[in-house]
Structure 1
Amino acid sequence: MSDKSFLDWPFFDERHRELSEALEHWAGRRLGNIDHAHTDAACRELVTRLGQGGWLEHAASEDGKLDVRSLCLIRETLARHDGLADFAFAMQGLGSGAISLFGTSEQKSEWLPKVRSGAAISAFALTEPQSGSDVANLAMTARRDGGDWVLDGEKTWISNGGIADLYVVFARTGEGPGAKGLSAFIVPAETPGRRIAERLETIAPHPLARLAFEGVRLPESAIIGEPGQGFRIAMSVLDVFRSTVAAAALGFARRAMDASLDRAASRELFGAPLFEMQMVQGHIAEMALDIDAAALLTYRAAWMKDSGAPRVSREAAMAKLFSTDQAQKIIDAAVQIHGGDGVRSGSVPETLYREIRALRIYEGASDVQKIIIARAAMAAHDKEAAAMAAHAS
């Protein structure tokens, strides 16, 4: 059992502690027998189970309120038990997030009950072949044709691509240059003209695809929010869910530390438990330190968002950057502690080693998070300098 003392921190209410305990019990009973041999089928089964268990109720909200601390606790717990379960939960929230936050009552009533029950799998289609983290540079177009919208272009690295029932797609509608000319649309999977151009394979198998949109015709009711609001919608969704990526990394890191403690206690070397080696104790100490620091950053960002902060871009960037980078370091140390068993295919350290790497890329790569943090620091510096100058005059 992983350390749960962090739940006593003032970031959490009693309902969060109850949620964590209930999910821990459920995950122990319901996630141990999922066959991961066929990734698509496994994801569909996980979404079904998460819906039946009521956990997807936290991922999609018709009142537009998402409790980020709950999302983080769920992702941390699921990631510690099963990385694909975490993926399935996260994509239900991310894929429907634009509808939860900006959708009309009709859009919400049509899609969110299906997402929460697990009857519909959702996807967030933002990335393009020439624009990953540079969202303002999207090339996919949406043009008016009579009373409809017509979409043309490509999306790539789309999670749940190929199995989703619902795609939230961002395209250029041209109300202004760059970020000012984007809009968001609901595209049901069966819409004519939308096709899977390529299924993408990664070191940690997940449903991923490159999507082609060729004359995809949508009614006016498919647009989310107003034309030209797409960038704001995308950033608002990421502002909620970026902290949860940090939480997933935290779950992976805790699993790696638990496995390392078990190994250090049970493995003998030179006639003594492996833990008696000072170098191993050093690894364990650094793991514990980095996990607590990552948890503090993660749940600070989540608490701030839940407390009403309009934007937590800086805090979420810090949480994601630190948690994912340190989780990579912790898992690497776990591989080292396990020796040859650490690189054996299917072992806990080897599985975590493959799973953690993508978290330092998706929803804003680590280098992009550094830019966000640096710009926030400079903006705060300039504001303070201006205030001091005004006071002096």
Structure 2
Amino acid sequence: MPNDIAKNVQLLNTSQRPAYLLQMIQEWLNLVLGLVVMAVAVVLVVLSLQFHAQSAFAGASLYSLITLGENLAGIVLYYTRLETSIGAIARLRTFNESVKPEDRDEHEDVFPSEQWPRTGAVEIKGVSAAYDADEENPSLALRNINLKVESGEKVAICGRTGSGKSSLVALLLKLLDPLPSNTQQVLIDDTPLSRIHRPSLRQRLIAVPQEAVFLPDGTTFQSNLDPYDASTPEDCKAVLVAIGLWTFVEERGGLSAGMTAGTFSAGQRQLFSVGRALLRRCIRASSLDGATDQGILLLDEVSSNVDRQTEIVMQEIIKREFTDYTVIAVSHRLDMIMDFDRVIVMDKGEIVEIGRPIELSSQRGSKFGDLVRAGNKRRGEQA
């Protein structure tokens, strides 16, 4: 907590520095103008006495001179505000002209049905991707990725910070676009990802982010759990019971009560985020007319900010409720992915190792085994 307070103070100071400097410059301007007006007023009084000027004209001139400083300061102040506002408009114009829209309507002409993906098979064929793909020499976040994930397979992605783990998940959500030469090489259920309408894609794939996101303060529990209002209160209650938060919500007024992000602890916020994913699966299952409920679940470091007990609860919920789903999970807690079907080790945007977690962890010279041993060593030092 003290570290968080210190960081908050530091960020606040940094954000307020420009406003503070502007205020100091304006105060200095007022001081200088006041001194100048004072000097001119002294000269005016001396000249009036020296030349025996009429008192009425001298008084009027002195009064006009006193208000001159305020008028000059006001002119400079309003001019500064005008210039600042024009600068903001110029930046908005530059942003509008330089930032390209995310949608490519001429190519993204496939609107998948609510039952898509029916199998959850993913295939990536030699794809490279960069966040600055439009530049002449882009910095690659992913390099020559070849990966095939079978329907219902549970795959974990691990690696050191900056290795490209989250970029791979972003690629599947079209938050990161492949290089123009690779646009047809990412397939979900044999459908090229480049052809799928982006908003529709993100509605069909179920994703749980690293940081839980909530609607503005005062929004009800039900609206936060189901922002699209696609479920009934009974469905929401059943989901909250499944994740163990119903009693907590009921004590605070139930589904129709207002809430804030601070209502929950860090672990509860992440459980609530998993509850959203579970509710979306339930809504999707109700539209399948008895067909097998298969899809894709993407998990991006969902357990990074929770305690071990909460992580175990989340893992149990995912195993129980997403049995037939293809699960692609980015994880840094390697002991929690030992029962996955495969683990993918990434480094510098490349896949450097693929295999079963149990087997790789015991192999000498294995990249995954090195990560497991390094993690165990850190935990031993902390203990």
TM-score range (shorter-chain normalised) is: under 0.3
Larger Cα Rg: Structure 1 or Structure 2? 2
Of Structure 1 and Structure 2, the greater helix share is in: 1
